[in-house]
Structure 1
Amino acid sequence: MNTKLGACALLSILALSTLTGCSMTDDMPTSPPSAGISTTDEAADQAEKISSELYDLIGLRGKATEPGPGISECAGKDPEKFFTVFHAWTFTPASPDQLKGVMERLKSDMPRDGWKIVEYGPDSSNNKNLTLTADHDAKKYSVKIAHFAKDTKPNLNLFVTSGCYQVPDGQRVE
């Protein structure tokens, strides 16, 4: 269990660092790119929608974990007015064999839906888990997907994260 939690934490850190240095901006930012103005509830709904679209892109029968999106601060910005949304979840297929080739297919299919693949290949772990990082510039979201092929139950871990939202005037981050 600790290994899985550590892997999820590492995936979270990697995804956030990827977003802050991704292609959504021209300069090396200290904070994620602007995602516009939104309430935290609306932004969380958007993160769930994007996760749902990614689930559909996976195109396999299986189970996804149910944790909802979370809210985090935007580095260097007022935490009462600015926030990012993240949504970490795991997909476990009905049959482990179904995941064979899924990462290659996602690498091929995601650009048709507006995703730009910014990194693809094995991670630095002993298992050399295949990872894919993609940005959706129009939606101001990034996703990091890791294929844990050698787990007892092979799965995909996804970490979806937004750019930096600002709450509407007169509101605070909830």
Structure 2
Amino acid sequence: MTDNKGSTGSDGSDDVPSAGTSNSEDAADEAERISSELYDLIGVKGKASDTGPGVSECGDKDPEKYFTIFHPWTFTPASADDLEGVMERLRTELPKNGWEVVEYGPDTSMNKNLRLTADNDEKKYSVKIAYLAKDKSPNLNLMLVSGCYQVPDGEKVYRF
């Protein structure tokens, strides 16, 4: 989720878009569904790490009423060669599935890992994907982050 300057709002500012009203358990279930869709878009055989979503504060907003969901996970292919070209395919396929690619290219690390950032305004989620081609076991690291949810009236944020 970016504003017109391309910043992600990860600095705690209020430019994180609203994701609507939900309790944190239902929002985490939604994050897992979106991660599953991303897994399918990767399009190669492999295994996803078994990390679940977490709950975080939403900038300067009241932490008792507002939250974001984050879901970090790793995809390890059955064969390292299977990841060749997958980032370019994601760069093409994500927009066909409601995502806007807002950043694509090598990072500043010594390994020049290929990174992609995409936003889905309809789902109110952003994903950062890093292709760690030079790791001992090449993989994709994904970080899915929601917009800012508000809990229903009378409820509090459940953190996990």
The equivalent residue for 1:4 is: none
Distance 1:140 1:24 in 2: 16
Q: In structure 1, what is the Cα distance between the partners aligned to 2:46 and 2:99?
A: 23
SS of the residue 1:103 aligns to: helix
Deviations 1:132-174 (A, max 9, x none): 0000001100000000000000000000000000000000001
1:99 aligns with 2:97: no
User: Per-residue CA shift, 1:37-93, capped at 9, x if unaligned?
Assistant: 000000000000000000000011101000100000001100000000000000000
Matches within 5 A, 1:113-128: 113-128=97-112
TM score, norm. by length of structure 2: 0.92
How many matched pairs? 154
Determine the structure 1 residue equivalent to 2:66: 82
Cα 1:122–1:27 change in 2 (3 A) is closer
Q: Answer yes or no: is 1:139 the counterpart of 2:123.
A: yes
Residue of structure 1 in register with 2:28 after alignment: 44
What runs of 5+ residues in structure 1 fail to find an aligned partner?
1-18
Q: Which runs of 4+ in 1 moved over 2 A?
A: 23-29
3-state DSSP class of the match of 2:36?
Answer: helix
Once the two structures are superposed, residues 117-142 of structure 1 have per-residue CA deviations (whole angstroms, 9 ceiling, x without a partner) of: 00000000000000000000011000
TM-score (ref. length: structure 1): 0.85
Work out the CA distance in 2 between the residues paired with 1:148 and 1:28.
22
How far did residue 107 of structure 1 move?
Answer: 0.1
More helix by percentage: 1
CA contact (8 A) 1:38 1:166 kept: yes
Matched-pair identity in %:
64
Q: CA deviation at 1:23?
A: 4.3
Shift of 1:25: 9.7
Q: Show the counterpart of 2:44.
A: 60
SS in 2 for 1:132: strand
Instruction: Find the counterpart in structure 1 of residue 144 from structure 2.
Output: 160
